Amino acid sequence: MATVTYDHASRIYPGTERPAVDQLNLHIEDGEFLVLVGPSGCGKSTSLRMLAGLEDVNQGRILIGDRDVTDVQPKDRDIAMVFQNYALYPHMTVADNMGFALKIAGTPKDEIRKRVEEAAKILDLTEYLDRKPKALSGGQRQRVAMGRAIVRQPQVFLMDEPLSNLDAKLRVQTRTQIASLQRRLGVTTVYVTHDQTEALTMGDRIAVLKDGVLQQVGTPREMYDTPNNVFVAGFIGSPAMNLGTYRVDNGVAQIGDARLPITRDAVAGLTDADKGEVTIGFRPESLELVSPSDPSALAIQVNIVEELGSDAYVYGTLKTGNGDQDVIIRVNPRTAPDKGEFIHAAIKPGNEHVFSPSSGARLATI
């Protein structure tokens, strides 16, 4: 196994001024499951392809272990890649698909059969080894693609949105299987997805990218509890964090008719560019229903109630000095309000996230 290091790695496509990946600095520990996540076009797949050798590195370098692989051919990097579209050979059986790379490498037939059978046992594919891909379901095909990577026994697994073609239920099931499989094998894994729920549930650590720039790296809990900036705060979490910009006067933010005290450290971090305002974020579960007479109560008109059985989410409108703001609140499903009703909620003490409106950077840690 091996570590992976991006050392100021950049990729600039011909004819473009802005790098697709800009000065990426990232160290992935031996045996770690790291998830690269971000919106479409943020550079996550390009970062993965740079590591695989499928994209040139225009600046900086990439290391696998202590070996600089920046200019090494893909076949010599000792990596295995799992693609979104499975990339199976339709005319070959499952066993032949899984062992094809070993056959090309000149591995003895007995060794190929042994490795294929071991991988098939791990992936619950033993009874399908003589079938062809057209006779398999989407989830089974994805497991075959995983098996093809496993039999190579590489130093690093690279996975590029491998669950995107699966239906919702199968996606949840397969992501659990992939995460548990990686922990059993202990192979360093870089996994690309645009789905932040996948990132939170699968990764040892998450790296968030935006416009080719790394925004934050941390454990799922760190990313959820202490996002570095407004972008990470709004991207990580489902439903999304509520975010709004409000006036601050004498250390108190005015949110509609409610008054929210802001910590001294957060106020001290404001600059002239912020023009006396702060951006405040609060998660749906960080709100609690209170009496209308509470000075911190936010008056919210209910638009939609989304019932999920164990939880219910209220999607409502909050009147503020800057116009209407959409707000999401998690409530008890058995006492959920009706559409059109007004409810009053307050942010639980210490559960607010405070950011600079001008830079988007976090001003204070909870």
CB atoms near residue 150 (< 10 Å): 24
Residue 366 in any domain: the answer is: no
Same domain, 207 and 306: no
pLDDT value of position 168: 82
Give the domain-ending residue among 176, 198, 231: 231
pLDDT at 366: 46
Q: Longest Cα pair distance anywhere in the chain, in angstroms? A: 78
**Torsions phi, psi of 249, nearest 5?**
-135, 120
Whether 50 is covered by a domain: the verdict is: yes
10 and 91 share one domain: yes
Q: List beta partners, residue 347.
A: 287
Secondary structure (3-state) at 95: helix
The answer to whether the CB of 212 falls within 8 A of the CB of 42 is yes
50-73 mean pLDDT: 95
Please determine, for residue 124, whether its predicted confidence score (pLDDT) is greater than 60. yes
Tokens 């932040």 identify what position? 196
Q: Which amino acid is at 43?
A: G
Q: Report in angstroms the alpha-carbon separations of 301 from 238, 316, 319, 328, 340.
A: 21, 5, 9, 11, 6
Contact yes or no for 323/246 (Cβ under 8 A): no
Q: Which of 127, 102, 125, 124 is nearest to 113 (CA)?
A: 102
- pLDDT tens digits along 177-221: 889 889 988 999 999 999 988 999 999 999 999 999 999 999 999
How many residues are given for the chain? 366
Tell me how far apart the alpha carbons of residues 61 and 51 are, in angstroms, rounded to a whole number: 10
Phi–psi pair at 111, nearest 5 degrees: -70, -40
Whole-model pTM? 0.89
**Could you read off the pLDDT of 271-304 as tens digits, one per residue?**
899 888 999 999 999 999 999 888 888 999 999 9
Q: How far apart are the first and last CA of the chain?
A: 37
Q: Do both 332 and 265 map to the same domain?
A: yes
Residue 53 has what DSSP assignment?
A: T
| SS3 of residue 10 by DSSP | strand
Domain harbouring 278, CATH code: 2.40.50.140
Number of domains into which the chain is organized: 2
Tell me: do 311 and 287 sit in the same domain: yes
Note the pLDDT of residue 329. 94
Task: Look at residue 365 in the predicted model and tell me its pLDDT.
Answer: 53
Helices (runs of H) and strands (runs of E) counted in the chain? 9, 20
Helix axes 94-104, 138-151, angle to 10 degrees: 30
**Strand pairing report for 342-347 and 298-307:** antiparallel
The alpha carbon of 360 is separated from its chain's Cα centroid by a whole number of angstroms, namely 20
Residue where a domain stops, chosen among 186, 212, 231: 231
- Given this model, what pLDDT does residue 321 score? 66
Are 13 and 125 within one domain?
yes
Q: What is the DSSP string of 215-257?
A: EEEE-HHHHHHS-SBHHHHHHSSSSPPEEEEEEEETTEEEETT
- Per-residue pLDDT at 235: 94
Amino acid in the structure at residue 295: P
Q: What is the pLDDT of residues 231-276, one digit of tens each?
A: 999 999 989 999 999 999 988 998 888 888 988 888 888 889 988 8
Helices (H), the chain: 44-52, 94-104, 109-122, 138-151, 168-185, 196-202, 220-225, 230-235, 264-268
Q: Is 58 left (phi over 0), alpha (psi -120 to 50) or beta?
A: alpha
Other C-beta atoms closer than 10 Å to the C-beta of 274 total: 18
Same-domain check for residues 181 and 282: no
Sheet of 287-289, strand order: 287-289, 342-347, 298-307, 312-320, 323-331
Give the tokens for residue 299. 């008056």
Structure tokens at 127: 């009874």
Domain containing 115 equals 4-231
Q: Token pair of 46, please?
A: 């390009």
H or E segment at 27? strand 21-28
Q: Are residues 227 and 338 in the same domain?
A: no
The answer on pLDDT for 44 being more than 50 is yes
Q: Does a structural domain hold residue 62?
A: yes
* Domain edge (last residue) among 210, 231, 252: 231
**Looking at the domain assignment, is residue 365 inside a domain?**
no
